[in-house]
Structure 1
């Protein structure tokens, strides 16, 4: 939500195990400046059969108990997922995605405990459902893809230079030199994945969770807990179904 690379950065061949649905829920009638539209969507959500199947039953003392409660004072806990889990969410468009090593054992969607390949939806999301959350995800994916590709290109130049120097002195690149370049390149990619990509994506996840919470979407709040995100993921499926 290790050293593995992003789902969008498939330069090492990583692909998420199972597709999930991203939180691209901002449609025309869920504009923060359109309270009536937001309320209409939430009313439809709460009355839907799908929502009833995931919401806890109401109690006699709280008429709003069908909406999972949020405890803002709950202490944060460490995510049980691996770095690869979150990184694999960032899936680039199929015509641009290079390949990366399949080292991830699990992956986490932006709001769930499984993968979030933005292009691998179980059913097509309506075009009007995608902006601006989907656009934010795409833009971040593209930036991270370009940044990681720059690292790869720099490594290719280093290799070419080493080969050229070796030829000039009538020898070849030694095994030691080759191993050193390989290890250095591996460390660069791991540093990028952990310190740049993971941090950037986690920040976007939190931002989008907060925006959905601000719109009054049930169960939406900033969290890294797998159980909470699984609930959020179910809400997303319900909303996506309503919107379509």
Structure 2
């Protein structure tokens, strides 16, 4: 967290984050054009933001695009803000990213002190996943081409005989404990149903005694409903807390999500 606070202390770096918040996935040239400084200066600030985990750089063809990573900010919120905030303060604004093919891609990255095997178990275990997705029950046999389904773990609505699925998809690629690619279709409201199917990729890389987990939610319609991806920072924050401490998040925001749909779960 010290690196994150140091990165946020500089107004230029905060401006860069603001620009990526407005339009995610910008190139160095695009960011340079928006700030009154040299290309080298922008590169220097971006490097510090990357080192703090606030920006994730992805090369796409000949270009290098930069994505705002909201997970460290969510961790700061969990540690320093949530205890003082009202429940509504946990809602995160959607991040806009417009590509030439009129789709969006969201990238989230977090470091967790655990093993790849333990992290894979937490992603695919029905019991463990329910602890950091606030009761969501994920069922699948986790084989390539198999289906998965997510059912809310809360109380059924009055007059309802059983829970209905709030998300579903297909396991497109399974390579334990390194990579999981899934199609994703949200079902919890007519608004999100109309968004169709997107894709979620989980990538695990061991780094010393920890794992870097990168979650990429792509093939999203341009200006897609933020409910589809807005919950990822909170979910990944809960996953880190569970594996490193054995505890579950009880922030006002997590309690709010427990009562409703878990966006991005």
TM-score, length of structure 1 as denominator length? 0.28
If asked which structure has higher relative contact order (CA below 8 Å, sep 6+), I would say 1
Report which of the two has the higher share of strand. Answer: 2
